[in-house]
């Protein structure tokens, strides 16, 4: 079994990078994910169907297409990419941040779906009750709605994380496959399969990938159960 | 403290068009389901924005569509107790109780946590989760939660409707204490004659979204025509009495009323305590002369002041017993046989055992300041 943990520095970097990219992608998707889910669950406005379609687009488009669209928009010469680089010094193309952006966008529809469902399940009468007790709408959201949708938030976050751990097509199209910068686990495994004698490395990383994904899943189960017990919803 | 409502609001093909004013300590909005009671209370709480009208509480205008005023619900300082308690499931009972306090300006906090917990007897529940409470306990906590936000007015939307009779009997005394021991005016929605007669100082009767009648409880409860058909037998004279003495030997309490002494099953109340009783019209017999050899203990002399046709074979006879009005529901045949007519001196006969927990409760204390 020792060969399993006997990773080369490049392979370790791929593991670390993947976890970093997935974590950042998940954390930065959460605020807009909650907002969009809220708008889709509760909003009544013209163009809601359009927004819903837009959010789900990464789910139905080939990942390569999403990656290429990102390259066009957030690449150095893309409109958004140039603007962000010039005014905020944020560069996405061929950086790990770009990988996080690609992963975040690919996982976004899954996250929004989970959160939206939990928002729709919230009893709005609870919110009305909180209002009569003096809480303004923002405080009602923070003290009633948010805690009640916590299980959905956890589910959405884990889905986004898991999606990011496995994202390949959009990432490699947008930020390529640069060791130590944008080479995440799937990219590293792909590289191993392209060189002679790379089988052992591919298998090692595959097993690690499985372990990380399983750990995330178990963690979410434990967390969700603890939240559920705390709330004791009938 | 006066609540003024003058509202017109449409919901689909149902409309509420109500105008009333009440300065009572506990004003009941009374009517069958679909009469607009809950819509009205939601309008006062600010959960619904009315199409047109004006609502003011103690001179403070909450809604005036003509002037473009609509105070949002979180700024109204009006407590609300819902039929379905609506406790927050992710908080303990104590956190639920303290919730409203956070949003009350310090200067306006008058409710004391321990006093409210004692008043409602919910001390042993504080650490529990709402899911672990019985229906009656939930409703008591919900009342406490509303009180601890130090509201200027308390609204109660059928707080007992989803409870069984035992739970109702458990909560009613707490609501009586709330009415008598706190200074907060209460607006109470109910479709139950028993609850209204027991609790209310004033009643607003609603029918099909309109105010059918409004006034003091004792006056409204005599108007059987206002009661829904299935509750008509529940109506009758409401008398405010006081405990004169207890008869431990026979397990009875003697109450003093304008109409004379009334014997009811033993009450756990001190001598002098105010007691409100409802004499159901269907429990009252009429005798034309002082009956003898009769098991009924309460025989009250009076004068017939009204005879109204009732449902089916029944007529309703109002008897003025020295200022207190007692209603009797008898058959038309008996009325003719006894030759009952206006002005005739008769005796109203009521069995002691016809008084039970549903129609005997703590009376409103005598108002000193009107």
| CATH number, domain with residue B261 | 2.40.50.100
Q: Tell me the C-alpha distance between B220 and B213, whole Å.
A: 8
| pLDDT higher than 50, residue B305 | yes
pLDDT at B226: 76
Is the same domain home to B187 and B283?
no
A4 in any annotated domain: no
A190 in any annotated domain: yes
CATH number for the domain that contains residue A128: 1.10.3720.10
B359 in any annotated domain: no
Closest partner residue to A148 (CB to CB) among B76, B78, B90 is B90
Is the same domain home to B213 and B248?
no
Cα dihedral A216, A217, A222, A227 sign: positive
B360 in any annotated domain: no
Asked if the Cβ–Cβ distance from B88 to A139 is below 8 Å, we say no
| pLDDT higher than 70, residue B35 | yes
Is the same domain home to B256 and B127?
no
Which residue, of B193, B220, B247, is where some domain finishes?
B220
Average pLDDT in the A180-190 region?
91
Asked if the Cβ–Cβ distance from B74 to A136 is below 8 Å, we say yes
Q: Which residues of B240-277 are buried (b: 16+ CB within 10 A; e: fewer)?
A: bbebeebeeeeebbbbebebbebbbeebebeeebbbbb
A3 in any annotated domain: no
Is the same domain home to B248 and B188?
no
Is the same domain home to B157 and B253?
no
Task: Judge whether A129 is closer than 8 Å to chain B, CB to CB.
Answer: yes
Is the same domain home to B188 and B252?
no
| pLDDT higher than 50, residue B369 | no
> In the numeric block, which tokens belong to residue B244?
């004169």
Range of the domain at A207: 9-231
H or E element in which residue A68 lies: helix A63-74
Range of the domain at B343: 237-354
| pLDDT higher than 90, residue B274 | no
B341 in any annotated domain: yes
pLDDT band with cut points at 50, 70 and 90 for residue A4? low
> A133, A139, A234: best mutation site toward chain B, by most B Cβ within 10 Å?
A133
Rg over alpha carbons for chain B, rounded to the nearest Å, is 22
Is the same domain home to B88 and B207?
yes
pLDDT at A234: 40
| pLDDT higher than 70, residue A230 | no
Asked if the Cβ–Cβ distance from B73 to A132 is below 8 Å, we say yes
| Tens-digit pLDDT profile for residues B149-195 | 999 999 999 998 888 888 888 888 888 888 888 888 999 999 888 88
Is the same domain home to B213 and B76?
yes
Which range has highest mean pLDDT (A215-229, B7-21, B94-108)? B94-108
Which residues of chain B are at the A interface, by a Cβ-Cβ cutoff of 8 Å?
Answer: 45-47, 72-80, 82, 84, 86, 88-90, 99-100, 102-104, 129-132, 145-146, 149
Closest partner residue to B99 (CB to CB) among A128, A133, A136 is A133
| Tens-digit pLDDT profile for residues A92-127 | 888 999 999 999 999 999 999 999 999 999 999 999
3 state DSSP class of B242? strand
> B45, B89, B105: best mutation site toward chain A, by most A Cβ within 10 Å?
B89
pLDDT at B273: 87
Residue with tokens 């409309």: B15
B364 in any annotated domain: no
Q: Tell me the C-alpha distance between B159 and B188, whole Å.
A: 8
| Residues constituting chain A | 234
- Which residues on A lie below 8 Å from B146 (Cβ)? 132-133
Conformational region of residue B280, where left means phi above 0, alpha means psi within -120 to 50, and beta covers everything else: beta
Cα dihedral B237, B241, B247, B248 sign: positive
Q: How many domains does chain B have?
A: 2
User: Nearest residue of A to residue B129 by CA position?
Assistant: A232
B14 in any annotated domain: yes
Is the same domain home to B148 and B210?
yes
> A124, A134, A136, A140: best mutation site toward chain B, by most B Cβ within 10 Å?
A134
CA nearest neighbour of B359 among B168, B98, B149: B168
Q: State the pTM of this model.
A: 0.81
The answer to whether the complex's ipTM is over 0.90 is no
Task: Judge whether A131 is closer than 8 Å to chain B, CB to CB.
Answer: yes
pLDDT at B72: 92
Is the same domain home to B305 and B243?
yes
Is the same domain home to B209 and B151?
yes
B55 in any annotated domain: yes
> B44, B103, B116: best mutation site toward chain A, by most A Cβ within 10 Å?
B103
> In the numeric block, which tokens belong to residue B297?
């203990």
Closest partner residue to B73 (CB to CB) among A131, A231, A232 is A131
Higher-confidence residue: A168 or A85? A168
Is the same domain home to B160 and B273?
no
| Tens-digit pLDDT profile for residues A24-35 | 999 999 999 999
CATH number for the domain that contains residue B173: 3.40.50.300
H or E element in which residue A168 lies: none
DSSP H helices in B243-340: 332-338
| pLDDT higher than 60, residue A1 | no
pLDDT at A3: 62
pLDDT at A200: 86
pLDDT at B187: 93
B196 in any annotated domain: yes
Beta strand B260-265 with B210-216 is unpaired
Asked if the Cβ–Cβ distance from B99 to A143 is below 8 Å, we say yes
Q: Tell me the C-alpha distance between A186 and B258, whole Å.
A: 92
| pLDDT higher than 80, residue B46 | yes
Mean pLDDT of chain B, nearest integer: 87
B366 in any annotated domain: no
- Which residues on B lie below 8 Å from A139 (Cβ)? 103
Quote the minimal CA–CA distance from A65 to chain B in Å. 43
DSSP H helices in chain B: 37-45, 93-98, 113-120, 135-147, 165-181, 193-199, 217-220, 332-338
Q: Residue B67 burial by CB count (10 A; 0-12/13-18/19+): exposed, middle or buried?
A: exposed
| pLDDT higher than 70, residue B227 | yes
Quote the minimal CA–CA distance from A127 to chain B in Å. 9
Q: How many domains does chain A have?
A: 1
């Amino acid at each position: 079994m020792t060969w399993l943990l006997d990773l080369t520095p490049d392979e370790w970097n791929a593991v670390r990078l993947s976890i970093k990219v997935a974590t950042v992608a998940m954390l930065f998707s959460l605020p807009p994910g909650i907002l969009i889910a809220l708008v889709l669950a509760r909003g009544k406005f013209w163009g809601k169907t359009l927004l819903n379609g837009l959010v789900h687009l990464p789910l139905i488009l080939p990942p390569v297409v999403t990656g290429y669209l990102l390259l066009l928009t957030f690449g150095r010469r893309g409109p958004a990419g140039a603007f962000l680089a010039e005014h905020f010094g944020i560069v996405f193309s061929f950086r790990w941040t770009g990988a996080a952006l690609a992963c975040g966008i690919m996982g976004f529809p899954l996250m929004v779906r989970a959160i939206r469902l939990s928002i729709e399940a919230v009893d709005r009468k609870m919110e009305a009750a909180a209002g009569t007790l003096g809480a303004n709408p923002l405080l009602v959201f923070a003290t009633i709605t948010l805690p009640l949708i916590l299980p959905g938030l956890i589910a959405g976050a884990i889905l986004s994380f898991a999606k990011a751990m496995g994202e390949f097509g959009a990432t490699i199209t947008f930020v390529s496959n640069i060791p130590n910068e944008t080479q995440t686990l799937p990219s590293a495994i792909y590289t191993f399969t392209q060189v002679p004698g790379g089988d052992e490395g591919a298998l090692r990383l595959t097993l690690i990938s499985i372990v990380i994904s399983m750990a995330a899943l178990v963690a979410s189960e434990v967390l969700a159960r603890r939240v559920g017990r705390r709330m004791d919803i009938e | 403290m006066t609540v003024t409502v003058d509202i017109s609001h449409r919901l689909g093909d149902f409309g509420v068009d109500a105008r009333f004013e009440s300065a009572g300590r506990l004003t009941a909005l009374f009517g069958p389901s679909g009469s607009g009671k809950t819509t009205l209370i939601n309008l006062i709480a600010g959960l619904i924005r009315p199409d047109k009208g004006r609502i003011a509480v103690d001179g403070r205008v909450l809604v005036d569509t003509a002037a473009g005023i609509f105070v949002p619900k979180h700024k109204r300082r009006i407590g609300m107790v819902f039929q379905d308690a609506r406790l927050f499931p992710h908080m303990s009972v104590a956190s639920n109780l303290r919730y409203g306090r956070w949003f009350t300006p310090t200067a306006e906090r008058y409710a004391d946590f321990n006093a409210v917990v004692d008043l409602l007897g919910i001390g042993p529940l504080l650490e529990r989760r709402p899911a672990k409470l019985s229906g009656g306990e939930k409703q008591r906590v919900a009342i406490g939660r509303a009180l601890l936000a130090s509201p200027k007015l308390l609204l109660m939307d059928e707080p007992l409707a989803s409870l069984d009779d035992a739970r109702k009997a458990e909560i009613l005394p707490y609501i009586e204490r709330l009415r008598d021991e706190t200074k907060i005016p209460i607006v109470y929605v109910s479709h139950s004659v028993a609850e209204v007669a027991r609790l209310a100082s004033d009643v607003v009767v609603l029918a099909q979204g309109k105010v059918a009648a409004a006034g003091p409880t004792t006056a409204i409860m005599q108007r059987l025509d206002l009661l829904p058909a299935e509750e008509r037998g529940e109506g009758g004279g409401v008398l405010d009495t006081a405990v004169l003495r207890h008869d431990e030997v026979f397990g009875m309490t003697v109450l003093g009323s304008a109409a004379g002494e009334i014997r009811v099953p033993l009450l756990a109340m001190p001598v002098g305590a105010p007691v409100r009783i409802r004499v159901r019209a269907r429990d009252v017999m009429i005798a034309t002369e002082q009956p003898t050899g009769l098991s009924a203990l309460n025989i009250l002399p009076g004068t017939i002041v009204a005879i109204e046709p009732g449902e089916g074979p029944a007529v309703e006879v109002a008897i003025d017993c020295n200022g207190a009005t007692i209603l009797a529901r008898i058959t038309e045949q008996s009325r003719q046989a006894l030759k009952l007519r206006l002005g005739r001196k008769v005796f109203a006969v009521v069995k002691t055992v016809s008084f039970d927990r549903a129609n005997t409760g703590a009376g409103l204390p005598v108002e000193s300041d009107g």
